Amino acid sequence: MRIVFVNRFYAPDHSATSQQLTDLAVALVAGGMEVRVVTSRLRYDSPGSLLPSRETLDGVCVYRVRTSAFGRAALVGRAIDYASFYVAAAMQLLALLRRGDVVVALTDPPLISIPVGWVGWVRGATRMNWLHDIFPEVAAELGMTVARGVSGRALTWLRNSSLRRAVMNVVLGTWMRERVAAMGVAPRNIAVIPNWADGAAIRPVPRDANPLRAEWGLDSRFVVGYSGNMGRAHEFRTIVDAAAALQAERDIVFLFIGGGAQKGLIAAAAAKRGLANLLFKPYQSRDRLAQSLGAADVHLVTLRPELEGLIVPSKFYGIAAAARPAIFIGDAEGEIGAEIRATDCGRCVRQGDVEGLVATIRAIRDSVELRERMGHNARRIFNDRYDKPIAIESWRALLCAVGEGRVG
């Protein structure tokens, strides 16, 4: 059995779907499976840096197709990049796929399951989807007109068809499973496998022994961290307003690590209000994740409530691996909020509740016992549910069952 994954980014790119796919593909090859990846030559945050058109990385044969490279700055340019990848990836799959292959479409770019499903059907491959988010619903909730009205209904119909015809759709959580089931996908064709972090690489680092705290001038300050993509699905006004309310408390600093569509807006809002308690750092390499995640005393995770079941913030798993508590800003009954409340590994605050966020930050700052208990609980549930080997084994078992015709 040969597995062919399709996603716009792959190693050495550092984007979330790229890292998850790379972990899985390398582990499957190490376990004896034959794996191919069809991807682009681009990097997530550097579209001008082209990667080799074909290479083998850790036993994974990577086919990189040529696409436009407008990047993420403008929606029109991004749409052209998406469209060019649809065409180029479909052409590569037509040449690559053979009967008996299992082809797995991820969700970058959105709706890639549609052309992948068509080519898979033509070539007689078994079709699967790995849903990291659900479009066009996400786009509609974020106000994009193309995802609404007649065009939105047409895209939804095509997407639903691609999911219903797949032998299996892997989703990230129970809320997402319910969303997909509501599209008419049979429950037997939906599997829940959460995303993960590498618990061997991300170990708890004591704050006083963390070199990044000294390097970044954090020293003994209480650090409220945000690590990862600062995208449109995440709400930051509550955080910036809380930073403004806490500006006089010089021992508290807000540390943003990463990038994304809203990073510039956050920095501009902070500058306009004269906030000196926000610090920005770029994405860190994977070998520094334990230190960068451990640099914060508590981490923030946000998701707009209307996007529950459409997106699951994967940054939570790295935070838990680092044994740090999390403050979730969003729906406390949602996927991550419910997990945090049930396991006492952090706290939940409603979007817009600035006073609640300020009080929560102060409470965690003022109690070493509280944050150590929540951090311990976070690592414990990570070991039980979200460590990389657990997810890899779930994927291996599912792919074997699909390849042998035991599911679907």
Q: Note the pLDDT of residue 217.
A: 95
CA 190 to chain CA centroid, nearest Å: 19
List CB contacts of 375: < 8 A, sequence separation 6 or more: 204, 323, 324, 325, 345
pLDDT score, position 61: 98
Q: What is residue 71's predicted lDDT score, i.e. its pLDDT?
A: 83
- CB half-sphere exposure, 234, CA atoms < 13 A: 25
Contact 238, 268 (CB under 8 A): no
- Residue 101 and residue 123: Cα distance in Å, rounded? 9
Q: What pLDDT is recorded for position 77? A: 87
Torsion sign over Cα 17, 49, 62, 117 = positive
Strand-pairing partners, residue 8, are none
Predicted pLDDT of residue 74: 77
Closest listed residue to residue 327, CA positions, set 276, 385, 374: 374
Pairing relation of β-strands 2-6 and 34-40? parallel
Q: List the domains of the chain with CATH numbers.
A: 2-196+387-403 (3.40.50.2000), 207-386 (3.40.50.2000)
Q: Note the pLDDT of residue 147.
A: 81
Give the per-residue pLDDT at 286.
Answer: 87
Tell me how far CA of residue 72 lies from CA of 20, 50, 155, 398, in angstroms.
21, 15, 22, 34
* Cis bond upstream, residue 12 (ω within 30): yes
Position 218 scores a pLDDT of 96
Regions in the chain scoring below 70 on pLDDT: none
Per the CB < 8 A criterion, the answer to whether 263 and 72 are in contact is no
pLDDT at 45: 76
User: Which residues, 6+ apart, have CB-to-CB distance to 331 below 8 Å?
Assistant: 303, 305, 308, 337
- Classified as helix, coil or strand, 56 is strand
The pLDDT, as a whole number, for residue 141 is 94
Give the pair of three-digit tokens for residue 45: 């945050």
Rounded Cα distance between 197 and 322, Å, is: 10
